[in-house]
Amino acid sequence: MSDNRPLLFFDSGVGGLSVLAPTRRLLPDAPIVYAADNGGFPYGTKAEAEIAARVPALLGRLVERHRPRLIVIACNTASTIALGAVRAALDLPVVGTVPAIKPAAEQSRTRAIGVLGTDATVRQPYVDDLSARFASDCLVLRHGSAKLVELAEAKLRGEPTDPAAYAAVMAGLLDQPGGDRIDTVVLACTHFPLVETELAAASPRSLNFIHGGEGIARRTAFLTAGQDWPATPTPGIAVFTAPFDVPAGLVAGLARYGLDDIRFL
């Protein structure tokens, strides 16, 4: 039987596309709704209380409108702050996104890990807990960057970005005491894998960058195993929470991820 219920991806902006891409590779027949909360963007500089109230309310409206089979909160900041509240409020599977500290600790040879995220994510107790549980024998250094979120958004729109800006972000992490030991960097914001190539080019030495996109895709495939999908492909839908004039570069960028139908909530 054909089942048209979509997978719903949610992020503050376009960062969740780094999670959508590997999920599409595993589940090519899945209908997709990608929701970007441009009305609340950026999350990384906002107070926790604002995010904790906003995210469950928005997802409730999106679920009512699109009737998904599963939600992926493709945003580290929203997940570390609001995941529990969303799961309590909605009666369907919800997959969160958390910093990939466990696999980073498993791969680091120098036992020194960097965590690049938004300001809101890197200060969360959740990150303390992950570090204590999975990287207790490692030096874990953190750096928050709102600028890197903006750079990722600009890149997706096809706009040029300044290499010096990426170098400044990496310096903010690597120039900390002990930063010279780091061999593995966790990209703890879903925006950041979109600019991984630029970060690697701006780094003074070779580093292993790691993020959770592939793991989230596998979890989503596991939770939907055995379910039916539409008999024919359906256009991916991109939903923005606030209306704006969508630039041609963004239209093209979304189309590269199969999101050809742009709407507003």
Coil, strand or helix: which one is 56? helix
Task: Tell me how many degrees the CA angle 228-32-148 measures, rounded to the nearest 5.
Answer: 145
At 264, phi and psi to the nearest 5? -125, 145
Sign of CA dihedral 157, 121, 212, 179: positive
Known catalytic membership, residue 75: yes
Known catalytic membership, residue 189: yes
Which of these is catalytic: 185, 189, 195, 216? 189
Which of these is catalytic: 75, 78, 156, 250? 75
Q: How many residues does the chain have?
A: 265
Burial 62-74 (b: 16+ CB within 10 A, else e): bbeebebbbbbbb
Other CB atoms within 10 A of residue 50 CB: 12
ω into residue 42 within 30 of 0, thus cis?
yes
Would you please indicate which residues are annotated as catalytic (active-site) residues?
A: 75, 189
